[in-house]
């Protein structure tokens, strides 16, 4: 995928030339000026026994010191010595009002960013009163039908003071449009909004299934959103290219990395084809990775991801802005590794996974709750998950040294090996014509299915030990399961009916007509979407208009 020539271990030979920079050079030229300019969390860092800690140990064989291309050891010169990662817990259930209450609890408990989970109808673009939506309203996330729900979701929360992440893909343009409309109503310019929309539709076709429209028009929606934000919402991360769900579907770490970066290349190519300059959109790209149980493999995966993306953007796309080379990523611990038996063991699993994200240099982190294999998390479990991050940050010492595992022969070799294997798999995707073609013929899906089957067979045979499931089992009482307020659904439906009764129907109709005309042409779709939702057009109405023009996607048969 890049012009770098890797040696047998996968490391680029150009970086091994004599006279490569040393840690001392980095400390004086990169780390020192950043520390002087922005300071650090403490005047000095030391162990509990009083031993003073250097910011970095070991060299960077590929030149990738913290804050320096290709960023193997971190994208910021001071990393967590300067600022801890964003603690961004994922929440959403029942109704916008109840989710708002959970958001406030998490913010009061020390969370530093919001992350919104949406129910399945919202993710696919159906209003809560649609016959297909009825069984799923508020079950796995918050239902959003109109701007009124977004008003309640962020009631009392300063949109210009808190970054907001939204795990939304097929309907990302509509949800972002509602946030922009809400900001305007509050007197907040779009340029002041900070956050992320996942907006990664390709992985839905690969691994998750929450799609609505065919691939090509979905890519149009993706790049339209990127173009709109480059002009109006420059602090917004326009896409979070997601390996998380690829891994949840059963992929290996190498497949997660390869398919995620291949999708990232596809989005970048689509944006360039749409007329965007690479340095206008690339700095706002972000990634979303899974953290599994194998601590060292996960750390190496994150390090390899940074290095690979930096080379892809600089060498393949010709990006000139160093911010375009930097792979910034959010990490979530592995939902698929949570067990419904001996759920307290999940606290240990999540701690290990979170530690991998931190040791790998993540920019933000979500830690799953112990009871999520049973139900939506209780308030106590959600708070404990956040406390897990806080203990790692403030009590473990791992944030006091940059890339503390870097330089270790095992970690460096594992980083090289994962990169080499991922590059090989990316080359296979490229040979098939890129991600879109590889998805359409089922290549990615088959690869993931085979890995998932191999994992499951290992668990069933006992070759792969899962503590409390196929080994070290005990008799357990029936677990207590958290259930959101069942009456919330009635309130959601009543709100939806009220919005339809109170809005100006002629204005909504006019806005939807403009949207349809734009969809049939080549104009940017975000502008008419913002106008439509500002008039209280519903999510389902916007999606129905787009489906009427684009059609609906039907997945290929994958054997």
Structure tokens at 270: 């689509």
pLDDT in tens, 48-99: 999 999 999 999 989 999 999 999 999 999 999 999 999 988 888 889 999 9
pLDDT class for 543, splitting at 50, 70, 90?
very high
What stretch of H or E contains 257?
Answer: helix 253-273
- Region 459-478: mean pLDDT is 94
- Region 241-246: mean pLDDT is 96
Q: State the sign of the Cα–Cα–Cα–Cα dihedral 128, 136, 554, 241.
A: positive
Superfamily of domain 79-461 in the CATH hierarchy: Methylmalonyl-CoA mutase (3.20.20.240)
Report how far residue 258's alpha carbon sits from residue 253's, in angstroms, rounded to the nearest whole number.
Answer: 9
Strand order in the sheet with 236-237: 236-237, 195-197, 164-166, 113-116, 86-91, 364-366, 329-333, 285-291, 239-242
What is the pLDDT of the chain when averaged over all its residues?
93
pLDDT in tens, 249-293: 999 999 999 999 999 999 999 999 999 999 999 999 999 999 999
Is pLDDT at 475 greater than 50 in this prediction? Answer: yes
Is pLDDT at 10 greater than 90 in this prediction? Answer: no
pLDDT class for 20, splitting at 50, 70, 90?
low
What angle (nearest 5°) sits at the alpha carbon of residue 210, between those of residues 204 and 211? Answer: 80
What stretch of H or E contains 99?
Answer: helix 96-108
Local structure of residue 125 (DSSP, 8 states): T
| Domain parsing of the chain, residue ranges | 79-461
CA dist list (Å): 516 to 513, 525, 545:
5, 9, 6
Percentage of residues in the chain having pLDDT higher than 90? 86
- Region 465-469: mean pLDDT is 96
Q: Which pTM value belongs to this model?
A: 0.90
Is pLDDT at 4 greater than 80 in this prediction? Answer: no
Strand extents, DSSP E, 275-322 = 285-291
- Region 199-219: mean pLDDT is 94
Task: Say if CB 526 and CB 226 are below 8 A apart.
Answer: no
Task: Say if CB 182 and CB 211 are below 8 A apart.
Answer: no
């Amino acid at each position: 995928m890049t012009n770098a020539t890797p040696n047998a271990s996968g490391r680029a030979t150009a970086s091994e030339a004599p006279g490569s920079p040393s840690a001392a050079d980095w400390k004086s030229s990169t780390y020192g000026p950043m520390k002087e300019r922005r300071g650090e969390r403490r005047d000095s860092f030391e162990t509990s026994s009083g031993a003073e800690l250097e910011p970095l140990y070991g060299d960077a064989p590929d030149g990738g010191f913290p804050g320096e291309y290709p960023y193997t050891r971190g994208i910021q010169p001071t990393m967590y010595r300067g600022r801890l990662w964003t603690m961004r817990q994922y929440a959403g259930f029942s109704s916008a009002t109840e989710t708002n209450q959970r958001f406030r609890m998490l913010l009061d408990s020390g969370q530093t960013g919001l992350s919104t989970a949406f129910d399945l109808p919202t993710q696919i673009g159906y209003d809560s009163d649609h016959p297909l939506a009825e069984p799923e309203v508020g079950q796995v996330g918050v239902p959003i039908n109109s701007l009124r729900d977004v008003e309640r979701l962020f009631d009392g929360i300063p949109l210009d003071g808190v970054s907001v992440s939204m795990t939304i893909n097929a309907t990302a343009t509509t949800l972002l449009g509602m946030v922009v409309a809400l900001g305007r109503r509050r007197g907040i310019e779009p340029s002041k909004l900070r956050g992320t929309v996942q907006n990664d539709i390709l992985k839905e076709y690969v691994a998750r299934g929450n799609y609505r429209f065919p691939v090509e028009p979905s890519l149009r929606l993706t790049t339209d959103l990127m173009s709109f934000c480059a002009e109006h919402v420059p602090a917004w991360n326009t896409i979070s290219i997601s390996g998380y769900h690829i891994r949840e579907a059963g992929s290996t770490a190498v497949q997660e990395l390869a398919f995620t970066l291949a999708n990232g290349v596809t989005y970048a190519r689509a944006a360039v084809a749409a007329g965007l300059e690479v340095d206008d959109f690339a700095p706002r790209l972000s990634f979303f990775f899974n953290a599994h149980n194998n601590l060292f493999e996960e750390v190496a995966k994150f390090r390899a991801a940074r290095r690979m993306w930096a080379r892809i953007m600089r060498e393949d796309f010709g990006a000139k802005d160093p911010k375009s080379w930097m792979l910034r990523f959010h990490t979530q611990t592995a939902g698929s590794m949570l067990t419904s038996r001996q759920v307290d063991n999940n606290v240990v699993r999540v701690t290990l996974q979170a530690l991998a994200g931190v040791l790998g240099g993540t920019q933000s982190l979500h830690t799953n709750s112990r009871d999520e294999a049973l139900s939506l998390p209780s308030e106590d479990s959600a708070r404990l998950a956040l406390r897990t991050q806080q203990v790692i940050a403030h009590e473990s010492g791992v944030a006091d040294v940059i890339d503390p595992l870097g330089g270790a022969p095992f970690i460096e070799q594992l980083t090289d090996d994962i990169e080499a294997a991922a590059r090989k798999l990316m080359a296979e995707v490229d040979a098939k014509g890129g991600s879109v073609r590889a998805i359409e013929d089922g290549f990615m899906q088959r690869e993931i299915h085979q890995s998932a089957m191999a994992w499951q067979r290992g668990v069933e045979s006992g070759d792969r030990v899962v503590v409390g499931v196929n080994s070290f089992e005990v008799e357990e009482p029936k677990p207590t399961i958290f259930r959101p307020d069942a009456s919330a659904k009635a309130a959601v439906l009543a709100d939806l009916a009220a919005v339809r009764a109170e809005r100006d129907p002629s204005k909504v109709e006019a806005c939807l007509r403009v949207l349809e005309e734009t969809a049939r042409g080549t104009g940017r779709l975000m502008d008419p979407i913002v106008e439509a939702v500002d008039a209280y057009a519903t999510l389902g109405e916007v999606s129905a208009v787009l489906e009427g023009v684009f059609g609906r996607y039907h997945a290929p048969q994958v054997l």
